[in-house]
Structure 1
Amino acid sequence: MSLHPAENAAPAAARPVTSLPRLREMAARGEKLTMVTCYDATFAQLLEEASVDTLLVGDSLGNVVQGESSTLPVTLAHMAYHTAAVARAKRNAWLITDMPFGSYEASPQLAMASAVTLMQAGAQMIKLEGGGVTAETVRFLTERGIPVCGHLGLTPQRVHALGGFRIQGREEAAAALLRADAAALADAGAAMLVLELVPSVLARQITEAHPQMMTIGIGAGAGTAGQVLVLHDLLGLTRGRRPRFVRDFTREPGSEGDAPGLSVAQALRRYVVDVKAGLFPDETLHGY
């Protein structure tokens, strides 16, 4: 089955090694960045072969690997274990690891110790959730040479405080707070920012206001510098209710449920092609 432009994608071995300056150059020239969650060596190799720019060892492993109902039970040791597995197999992609719940909130010093553990396991950047006082921690880390990705909007580690998986920033007061948090994170030195489940207009505003901080959207429209999906969602493996912003890339758009699907490798390449070409995401689809 032909994948049209995907068949022309550069093999992983032919790609230059992805670095933070290279990601910034790509974003500056308008090339959409691709990110997918990854938890093991086999999928790290497959994602490399699909030329995915960035691999995220997400604490979503609590849901899709460990069978937990939230990310809260995931520990620093879990994250270091999965980071090391991915790092051993990846070659060219940039590797980011989530800081799990409880590993950074108490103090910048605790965050630094946790970040050291994850970077010694192979992470090249760490990701942490929230604005407000989190900016102080981001500044502490970046001043000590730790590349940081922020995360605003729906922050799964705070899902109970947020009242569930709901779009954030719809009302002007909430949108203003998200804009202020994004500005604080950018000022603190965050190089990247995941925006999850926020209105597309707001995500675009934040992206345009902080070109030095690459925005990665998930359920936040097409106006961000790049996109991220959970691997299992992308491959149609999610059980139960699937978020509306997710597309099963193993299925051709409009195909029936019993139609032959794409292989895992083909689906991953299709994701990369469609994000780069602006065919994904659908600007109108938000929410769970």
Structure 2
Amino acid sequence: MQTLKYVCGSTGDEISFEGPIYGETMPSLRGRAWTYTLGARTLTGVAWQARELTLTVKAVDGETQLDRLRMLTDHDVLAHSRDSTISGLLRVDDVWECRALITKSEPQSITPRIIETQLTVTQLGMWRRSLPTVTYAPSDPDAYQYLDHPYDMDYDYGPPSAPPVIAVDGLDPMPFRMTIYGPCSNPTVTIGGNQYRITGDIPGGARVEVDAVEGEKSVTLVNAAGDRINWFANAHRGAGLDSGSYIFQPLPAGRAEVSWPGGYTFELTPVEERSEPPWSAS
């Protein structure tokens, strides 16, 4: 972890902790904690939950930035109280992010040049980063135009092909973000045995965005004019996780075949999660 920023969830404004507000090593930010219930010889109810941590920062001639930090973080806290999907972000190395709110600031020492204060941060989600987006497009019909023969055969010729796949590195399934582009009707994508199905017509120039990240789950139609329409009710959720037709089913670890009827293009972005930010560059 080399750099850290706070990003206002409502405005996108950033506050860097590399100066004139300095965060130094911030050891509490590097920790992790799972919740669970102890049994006789086992753990049950294992889950990741929001947690509080403290960060000590020093502002060197940074009164203006401290005022700006207060303004942005208070704004996010109040916005979150009205809509729990809104929060700020902690961003590490411009790659890893977690949802967070800064709920308290307690000055520790004040001198003419340096103000030291302790921030209370409520970490609302795991650390995440978006992996490279994979685009799945219909086959190119031009690839076949030179394969015709002056006589008929009992079988068709075509360029060799392998079924498309999605490769998820790591040991655990990953959430994802998916974008399906129109025109198409009732699109269905099958990945590793799960069907991701949406009922409805997606016009040309429009798209549907599926966000399967915990705490952000949504299905949104974006029309050609850029208007965003809630399509959550149009998405099939089956009987929930592992039911075989759950729109938010995480991508399986390893390689999984991807299939769809064709005729439309969609994009898939795996989202890696971890309980603490990386110690090494990755």
Q: Same fold (TM over 0.5)?
A: no
Which has more strand, going by share of residues?
2
Decide which structure has the larger Cα Rg and report it.
2
What TM-score do the two structures reach when normalised by structure 2? 0.25
